Amino acid sequence: MKFKSVFDIIGPVMIGPSSSHTAGAARIGRVARDLFGRQPAWAKIHLYGSFAETYKGHSTDVAIVGGLLDYDTDDERIKTSFEEAAEAGMEFEFIPETGHTDHPNTARVVVGDSHSEMSMVGISIGGGKIEITELNGFPLRLSGNHPAILVVHDDRSGCIANVSNCLYKYDINIGHMEVSRRQKGEMALMVIEVDQTVERSIMDELRQLPNITQVTRIAD
């Protein structure tokens, strides 16, 4: 069961006709922006399943663009997000795909600028809730409903313990944690959902730990 209360079924306060196709889409876009760490200069949004079939009629397109502009689900500016994106200098393209995915409401959001680019796969599971299932080729599970940190690190012994001990030192409780790697001994990714926002000073301390490459914070 994905829903814990009747409010999860009704969905969030939002702009648009569908909690799955609009509110969930906005959250996918906003998490992509958070993970990228700044306003992207361009975005290519690949849509699958029912997202690909109904994205214009259900405002999935304006919602994702609104999320990339850091608009929450109830932000009135979502309605004019295409115009807002043009003013912000962000180019975007929607690419309906016919390939099979595990969930019908799936989007692969590829964003970038002159410095770097990032690829993320998100699914809208209903009631405005989402899951992030892939980041730059790493499989993961991130709900986007709780504060989280993502830690890119070398696949070495002690990395997980060092990060966990640092969070423990500041009384930060871990609600969910998983680790994935592409290949033994190479790059790995920790996804940690926590019960409170991790302060910037703690993020800086995590970045100084041995074998840590990158630390990113996502607000709920």
* Residue-wise pLDDT tens digits, 15-74: 444 556 688 999 999 999 988 989 999 999 999 999 999 998 888 999 999 999 999 888
* Residue-wise pLDDT tens digits, 113-136: 999 999 999 999 887 889 999 999
- Taking the C-alpha atoms of residue 178 and residue 25, their distance in angstroms, rounded to an integer, is 24
In this model, does residue 146 exceed pLDDT 60? Answer: yes
- Taking the C-alpha atoms of residue 208 and residue 162, their distance in angstroms, rounded to an integer, is 11
- Taking the C-alpha atoms of residue 194 and residue 52, their distance in angstroms, rounded to an integer, is 33
Domains of the chain (ranges; CATH) run 6-142 (3.30.1330.90), 148-218 (3.30.70.260)
Per-residue tokens: 6: 């009747």
Model pTM score: 0.79
